[in-house]
Amino acid sequence: MVTYSGIGVSRGISIAPVFQFVAASIKFDTVQVSNPEQEWKRYQQAVQVTLGKLEKIYEKAVLEIGTDEAAIFHAHIAILQDPELNDGVQSQIMDEMVNAESALFEVSEEYCAMLEEIDDEYLKERAVDIRDVRNGVLKVLLGIVDDPACQLNVPSIIVSRDLTPSDCLSMDRHKMAGFCTIEGGATSHTTILARSLGVPALVGADAEVITIASCKEVILDGFTGKMIVDPDEETLARYRLMQSAKAQIMQKAQSEAKKAAITLDNHKVDVFANIGSDSADDLQSAVSNGAEGVGLLRTEFIYLDCTKMPDEEYQYKKYAAVAEAFGDKPVILRTLDIGGDKQLPYLELPYELNPFLGVRGLRLCLRNIPLFKTQLRAALRAGQHGNLQIMFPMVTKADEIRQARALINECRQELIREGKPCDAKIEIGIMIEIPAAALLADRLAPEVDFFSIGTNDLSQYTLAVDRTNSTLANLANAYDPAVLKLIQSVVQGAHAYGKIVGVCGELAGEPLAIPILVGLGVDELSMNPSVVPLTKQIIRRLNMKDSQVLAEKVLLLETPSDVRAVVSDALPFLQEYS
């Protein structure tokens, strides 16, 4: 029995044979060409073929992992359409008179070298995406069609030096029992895919893992970051018992998914789902997992799915479909949240040195009134099909809310004059993502009907840490008492005016965070649909009064690790869900 160590990036336990994945070999020579114009045309044709393949991968990803996670492949498409990259390839072909393969390789490697020189783990890992896209074009140019992933015919743990998102999506998801790679990091797109697929994953593993023979039985422990080869019977029995216990917990949670989340002392907490589109799979997942509404409808993915700005009619149909699916249950539509790490190729935004602190969210919409009114009109029309509510992201001050409300009233009057049915009184809320808004929650509360706290951005701005920078992951932590104190301030400010507070960031579905949020008085938690049943089950095992005492206690602590330790000690049953 041999144990290899790494970094567990996707929780879970898997027992299965190894499948050593080796990507198709890409080899070519630099060749001088006599007709560079023809070679440039050959490159352009290969790009178009690759774009078609990426679009199919994106469609598959939407079906298998959901719209949000599938957005990874929008980034790949953007890379392939990058004018600087393509202009560089064209110049290389024309000036050096070399074949397209050589030109693409040289230009893309220059990009990757620049990213890898930057002292930022997140940007370094983006070089993996560039090479993934580049290799896709090279395969088309070289006529490579063999795909080693096709050899995966039984559920296996994939072992490789590294895996690209395209590698993952080329495999049968039902035969992926887990991933183990030597390279890769916590913020890589493959890591994100592993979590979305719900399979255990280990990165940064010992280099010797690629010498493990295929078909060898191994245990992959995504909780502790270990892979055990040729486990003995005692170890196998222990891990199978753990697997069985986890499965039983999930089955019980799923069987009770439709029950309300009510604490032992009769305090109800609403549990909603975050979704990214109107796809049948997204809606079915939310409903079947017992979501009592949609706490976050990410409308930016509707825009990302389009090659041009979606018009009012298109958006209206999308929003109406979600509202109808949930009937009288709340569906909170977040208006366009573009900027920062999300860009629209057809919306030409000026370059910003620090886009996370720039024109994004509501700030962008208030500077693009025609774009904003198109969405608001569509939402108002869709409101008549259910309990649709509108929420504005990245709000800093009351005046922004008043401007947005005035536009809603203007749109409603326009629709009435045009004879188009619309919601006469739609509820309006805001995201609390900026410390300034959290600190002034008592002043913003009279302007809205509800708050929803985005803990990802609130943590980032409170702690002055880029949440995409894995080297600072220990600092960008929503368990930090400073962040928790802001959440407490928001709840107190809202409840003073009888307004509801939800949390729709990742913290809402974290087992150790749930009792803290409940104790702080949060009224509603919204999360990935798959986490809804477990969240409800945890709430049903809590006592509200005890949670309040626990919340007050953790606010006095110094570090996120202290917070986790205190919650774990106070509520040991939470380990069953971690």
Alpha helices in 256-393 (DSSP H): 280-288, 300-304, 312-326, 362-366, 369-382
Tokens for 343, please give them: 């860009």
Does residue 174 have an active-site annotation? no
Q: Answer yes or no: are the C-beta atoms of 20 and 210 closer than 8 Å.
A: yes
| Interatomic CA distance for residues 533 and 539, integer angstroms | 10
* Three-class SS state of 558: coil
Closest CA to 54 of 27, 90, 83, 81: 81
Closest CA to 428 of 469, 466, 383: 383
CA distances from 473 to 47, 102, 398 (A): 36, 38, 32
CA atoms within 13 A on the CB side of 470: 16
Place of tokens 């039902």: 174
> Phi-psi bin for 290: left (phi > 0), alpha (psi -120 to 50), beta?
left
Burial class (CB in 10 A: 0-12, 13-18, 19+), 336: buried
Residue from 180, 411, 422, 504 carrying the catalytic annotation: 504
Closest CA to 166 of 139, 133, 121, 123: 133
Q: Answer yes or no: are the C-beta atoms of 201 and 9 closer than 8 Å.
A: yes
CA atoms within 13 A on the CB side of 257: 20
* C-alpha dihedral (345, 348, 352, 358), degrees to nearest 10: -90
Residue from 74, 76, 189, 385 carrying the catalytic annotation: 189
Q: CA 77, 82, 86: angle at the middle one, nearest 5?
A: 115
At what angle are helices 481-495 and 544-554 packed, to 10 degrees?
130
Amino acid in position 400: E
| Interatomic CA distance for residues 73 and 90, integer angstroms | 24
CA atoms within 13 A on the CB side of 181: 22
Q: CA 169, 171, 174: angle at the middle one, nearest 5?
A: 105
Does residue 189 have an active-site annotation? yes
| Interatomic CA distance for residues 396 and 470, integer angstroms | 27
The rounded Cα 54 to chain-centroid distance in angstroms is 19
Q: Answer yes or no: are the C-beta atoms of 341 and 399 closer than 8 Å.
A: no
Q: CA 20, 23, 28: angle at the middle one, nearest 5?
A: 145
CA distances from 273 to 101, 331, 387 (A): 45, 9, 15
Active site amino acids: 189, 504
